[in-house]
Structure 1
Amino acid sequence: MGQFRCQRIAYLKAMRIGTARIDLQGQPAGEVTEAAAIIARDELVRNRMIIFRNAATHYF
């Protein structure tokens, strides 16, 4: 099975264990697993680190 990763902040924040997943056609596609929620959390942390690092290089 292929894997699609979305990096939109709102999508990543919505990835909570047990919440419903919806496919691209708007149909139910199961629930967010613990593993998927952890990956989303880690991606958010990585994105924040990049933003802060980039901001620091422009202001200091």
Structure 2
Amino acid sequence: MKQSINDVFQLLTVVIMFTSIFAGCVTALALMILVVRHPLLLAAVLLTCWGFSRLQRSSR
């Protein structure tokens, strides 16, 4: 009985990990498609990353 409960929890864990990884990959792919289709979005992302890195450097 105890072994079957552990198997169910292990299966549930694997399913949750798979869906999380899948959702992350779909999100990254959607972002790449948006960036390719809208060049201003690429500029905004790059500008935001640059500003964030400068902000992190200045706070040290």
- The TM-score bracket by the shorter chain reads 0.3 to 0.5
Larger Rg: 2
TM-score (norm 2): 0.46
Q: Which has the higher helix share?
A: 2
TM-score (norm 1): 0.46
Q: Which has the higher strand share?
A: 1
